[in-house]
Amino acid sequence: EPTIALSSSGTKGAITLSWEISDADKVTSYYIYRGTSPTSLSKIATVAASGNTYRDTAVEDGILYYYHVTAFGKKESPPSNQIYNMHGTRLTEDDTSANFTAIVDDSPYVIENKVSFAGDLDIIGNTKLYVLPGAKVVFEKATAASIYVDRGLFVTKGTKANPIYFSSTGGGYELRMVLAAEGSQFDYTEFRDLAGAYDSQSVIISTCSPAISHCRFVSNAATASLYASGANITNCYFGGLDLEIEDSVVSTLNIESNIFVDNEVALMFSNYTSIAPEAGVIHNNAFECNGTSDESYYSADLTIIGYTNVACDFLLVGNYFFRSGNYNTALTEQGDFFVYYDSLCPNQTFNFDDLLTTHPTGIGPGWGTLPF
C-alpha cells in the first residue's frame, strides 16, 4: 500500500496541505480529513489524483485543526501522518527585528517554531496572537523587554508533549496584561527569565481574567501581581515570584493546586479596598516560606500593606505552608509565620484557621523540573 507524507503551512485565512505519495499509479483520488481533536477527524474534501495540495479556507480564529490524507484506488489507503495547524499571519524575523505592535488588519497572528524579538511585543486594541505547541520565543533586548497585552487576545496552546518556551538572552522581559480580551489563555507554557521592565513586578494581570493552566513562571526575586482580577490559575509553578493581590478580586478568581517557591514573601495583600476573597478562592496550593522577620513587608512570610481602613480577614484555609528545605513539615498556626501588618491598614489581618497539615497531591504543572 502507498505511504503518504503530509505537511502544511498557514497564512491568514487559509491552511494549505501538501503531500507526497510513495506510489500513485493506482490512485484515483485523495480524501482530506479534518478535526479539532486528534482523535476525531472526518472527511471534508476530495482531491483528484493529479493534485497533491489542498487549501482549506473554512477556518476560524484560534482553532487548531488536525488533518490527515488518504489515497483511494480500489480501496482507501491507511491515513498519512497526522499534522495540525492554524490560520493566521506568521511572525517572522522581519517583524521581530525591533519593537513589534500587532495591528487589526493582519490579525490574527501566529507564532510557530522559533521566533526572536529584539524589542517589545505589544498585543493591543482587538488584535489576537496565538502561539502553537512546541514554539520557542526569545527576547534579546539588553534591558528588560515587555509582553504588553492591552485589550488584545493572547493565547498559548502548549501541550504536555509539546510545551511552549519563552526566555531571554538579554535583560529578561515582563508579562503585563491590562484589560486583556476574554478568552486569553496559557496552557503548558514556560515563562522563564522574567524581569520587571519598570519595577519588581514581572507578571502583572490587571482588570482581566485569563485562564492559566499547567504553566511555569520563573524569575529572580520579583512579583506576580493580580489587580482586580478574576484569573483562573491552576496547576502552575512559580519560582522566584512573590504572589501579590492588589485592590480587589473578581468573583471568578481561582488560585488552585499551584506551587510557589524561592520567593521573598509567600503571599501579600496590597492596598486592598474590597471584600476579602471567599474561602476556597485560594486553595490547595503549596507555599514555601522564606521570611526572616516581621519588621518589614519584604522580610516576612505573609504581608499586608496599604493605605485603607477597610476591614478584611484574609483566609488561608486549605493551603499548605512550609519552610525552605522542609517540604514535609507543615506550618499550621500563626506562631509559625513571620507576619507583617502595615499600621496604615489597621483593620486587615490573616486568618490561620484550617491550614493543611499534610502536603497536597496533584499540585504543580506535572512537567519540567520541580523542587519536590
pLDDT at 94: 80
pLDDT at 151: 98
pLDDT at 96: 86
Q: How far is CA 54 from the centre of its chain?
A: 33
- pLDDT tens-digit readout, 94-131: 888 889 999 999 999 999 999 999 999 999 999 999 99
pLDDT at 220: 87
- List phi, psi (to 5°) of 331: -90, 120
pLDDT at 369: 83
Alpha-carbon distance of 140 to 209, in angstroms, equals 29
Pairing of strands 320-323, 286-289: parallel
Residue for cell digits 480500489?
Answer: 74
pTM of the predicted protein model = 0.95
pLDDT at 366: 95
Alpha-carbon distance of 142 to 246, in angstroms, equals 30
Alpha-carbon distance of 250 to 182, in angstroms, equals 14
pLDDT at 1: 79
Report residues of the chain scoring pLDDT below 70. Answer: none
DSSP character at residue 357: S
Q: How many residues does the chain have?
A: 372
- pLDDT tens-digit readout, 155-185: 999 999 999 999 999 999 999 999 999 999 9
pLDDT at 98: 87
pLDDT at 194: 98
How far from 1 is each of 42, 49, 75, 81, CA to CA, in Å? 22, 16, 10, 14
What are the strands, taking DSSP E only, across 140-184? 145-150, 153-157, 164-168, 173-178
Cβ contact 237:259 at 8 Å: yes
